[in-house]
Amino acid sequence: MKIVFFFLVSSLGLFSHIEAAELLLNGVYHGTNVFVHNTKDASNEFCITEIYVNNRKIDFVPNATVEINLSFLKINDAVAIKIFHKDDCTPKVQNINAIKAKEQFQFVSIELAPDKMIWSTKGEKKFSQFFIETFKNNVWIVEKSINCKGQAHSNSYEVNLSVAAEGKYRIKYLELNGKTTYSDEIIIKK
């Protein structure tokens, strides 16, 4: 009889209800766990009530700092973290950059004018270089090299270049770690 009564009371929601809020974090797993400062509410209890990663409930020990273990994910997996907490307090993420999506390098535009090459990029890494190449005698030859600006957002370049009446050109982007990306080829025909 007591079990049935408990079931009815709990299913009807007659227990005291704690107002809850939700903190959402989205990003990409880079091999680092997320740490959250678990503040306390007005009654001096820890704020966080539940944590989900990609809709999977995560066990945690209520402490001043909560480590959200993401090691079950693969590198570059998408991450969606939901932190449920009491309404009168807010947990603070200590290392949000741990899951921040890193912008990949890309050539946005490239054009060849009579005396120069103009291009724009996104996602550059510091200390990288560009090499303007031309295709001569079945080999790509470096015509010029320049240092990148190294800004992750948009960058524009305009480099003086003696352009032949006919030929193929491209730009090679070389990161400090050796990773190489090539622009589309520009072909000039008579």
CATH number at residue 127: 2.60.40.10
Model confidence band, residue 22 (pLDDT cutoffs 50, 70, 90): very high
- The DSSP symbol for 97 reads G
Partners of 174 in the β-ladder = 129, 180
Of 98, 120, 143, which residue is a domain's last? Answer: 98
Percentage of residues in the chain having pLDDT higher than 90 = 62
Answer whether residue 133 shows pLDDT above 80.
Answer: yes
Q: What is the domain count for the chain?
A: 2
CA atoms within 13 A on the CB side of 141: 8
Same structural domain, 92 and 115: no
The reply to whether 11 falls in a domain is no
Let me know whether 21 and 86 are in one domain: yes
153 in helix, strand or coil?
Answer: coil
Between CA 152 and CA 125 the distance in angstroms is: 7
Closest C-alpha to 60, from 42, 83, 44, 80: 83
Per-residue confidence at 19, pLDDT binned at 50, 70, 90?
low
CA 149 – CA 35 distance, rounded (Å) = 32
Instruction: Specify whether 121 is located in the same domain as 173.
Output: yes
Contact (Cβ atoms closer than 8 angstroms) between residue 81 and residue 25: yes
Structure-token pair, residue 81: 């973290």
Confidence of residue 148 (pLDDT cuts 50, 70, 90): very high
